[in-house]
Amino acid sequence: MKSIYIGIDIGASYIKYGFGSTVNGLDFFESCENRNTDQISLYETLIRIINKLALEHLNNRKIAAIGLGSPGIIDKISGMIISNCPNMKYWVGSKPGQILEEKFSIPVILENDADLMTYGEQRLTHRHHKTVLGVTIGTGIGCGLVSNGSIYHSNYRSALELGHTIIVDDGKLCSCGKKGCLEAYSSAASIMKRMKDETGRAFSLDDILMKYYQNQIVFTDVVNDAFNKLSQAIANTIMVLGVNIVVIGGGITESKFFDITTLAGKISRYLDRFSLDDISIESAALKNKAAVWGGITIAENYMENQPH
């Protein structure tokens, strides 16, 4: 029986999922809104997704393993989401890998969602680069690093929490409880909130970016401030790590008005002139499928490395 690999990307707003393999490509991809408000309801949603894939789409193919991306800091020993999940606070303390392994009796490889986005991009579109930095901009701001073909994990479990680095001393209150975090200024959700605070009206991200590129004053003020702070943080990370390719993904890049050259230009202003010729800043080639692809490829890689 032919083996297939499932990738699932849990986001605060949407859950994306699909299956495939690096040989045959992505056979199926779909997403649904994440309206869950507690661990049990999210577990039930994940179980329904896997059952749906198995019953409706796999055509008697065997699920060999699942790659699961989750927001938050993950204890790699216990498999628990231990912190920094401010947009899904109810998810802290959960062990989704363990729950799904027990339910389906198949391996589940649990990783941070930004890590999986970066891993998918490196494995499928940037294999010639040993080191890739990934940044996701959506409800929150995530960051991942693939080095020598593997996801980088800190001994302290909290590496590359770019969204929760302090960009303004005693600044805006972040959903994580700290003040001045990058995420409070530069995530897609915070940009929309800031526009509502400024104008008294709710705007979609598409509308905000469209009006930004039309040079409408209030919109340019808010978006420039968000992009400048984001660019400083990304440039600082580039300078510390010495990476030469940065992949930008997440919900903001799905807007038809998002232009990577604007953000890349701002990042370049904060880099030294010796670095500019060697650094590439790109939108995720796999777009909103990147973390699902990352889940598929990390599950496939896991199984290939198991003793036969």
Query: Do 144 and 233 belong together in one domain?
Result: yes
- Residue 275: pLDDT band with limits 50, 70, 90: low
Q: Is 178 helix (H, G, I), strand (E, B) or coil?
A: coil
Has residue 308 got a pLDDT over 80?
A: no
What are the phi and psi torsion angles at 11 (to 5°)? -120, 165
Q: Which letter, b or e, does each residue of 78-89 get, where b requires 16 or more Cβ atoms within 10 Å of its Cβ?
A: ebbbebbbbbbe
The predicted pLDDT at position 83 comes to 85
As a whole-number percent, the residues of the chain with pLDDT over 90 amount to 79
Q: What whole-number distance in Å separates Cα of residue 14 and Cα of residue 30? A: 10
**Number of domains within the chain:** 2
Say if residue 270's pLDDT is above 70: yes
201 plus 252 within the same structural domain: yes
User: Mean pLDDT, to the nearest integer, of 239-253?
Assistant: 93
Evaluate if residue 45 carries a pLDDT over 80.
Answer: yes
Same domain, 188 and 235: yes
Range of the domain at 260: 128-285
pLDDT on residue 60: 72
Same domain for 279 and 136: yes
List pLDDT tens digits, range 91-143: 999 999 999 999 999 999 999 999 999 999 999 999 888 899 999 999 999 99
267, 297: one domain: no
Task: Specify whether 141 is located in the same domain as 274.
Answer: yes
Same domain, 48 and 136: no
From CA 244, how far away is CA 279, in angstroms rounded? 4
Q: Is the pLDDT of residue 276 over 80?
A: no
- Compute the average pLDDT of residues 50-73: 89
Q: Could you tell me the pLDDT band of residue 1, with boundaries at 50, 70 and 90?
A: low
pLDDT averaged over every residue in the chain:
93
Q: Say if 123 falls within a structural domain.
A: no
Judged by DSSP in three states, 19 sits in strand
The one-letter amino acid at 246: V
User: Which one, of 67, 101, 83, 89, lies nearest residue 12 by Cα?
Assistant: 89
Q: For residues 8-23, give the mean pLDDT.
A: 93
What confidence category does residue 272 fall into, taking pLDDT thresholds of 50, 70 and 90?
confident
pLDDT mean over 231-235: 97
One domain for residues 249 and 265: yes
Answer whether residue 170 shows pLDDT above 80.
yes
Shared-domain flag, residues 104 and 145: no
pLDDT of 277 reads 75
Sequence-ordered alpha helix ranges (H) in 138-281: 183-186, 188-199, 205-213, 217-241, 260-269
DSSP 62: E
167 part of a folded domain: yes
CATH of residue 18's domain is 3.30.420.40
Same domain for 141 and 272? yes
- Answer yes or no: do 47 and 107 share one domain: yes
Token duo for residue 99: 């729950």
Flag whether 22 is in a domain.
Answer: yes
- pTM given for the model: 0.93
- Long-range pairs for 146-155 at CB < 8 Å and ≥24 separation? 146/115, 146/118, 146/119, 146/122, 149/122, 149/123, 151/111, 151/115, 151/118, 151/119, 151/298, 153/76
pLDDT at 58: 75
Mean pLDDT of 245-253: 94
Are 134 and 114 a contacting pair, CB within 8 Å?
Answer: yes
3-state SS class at 72:
coil
Q: Give yes or no: residues 259 and 165 share one domain.
A: yes
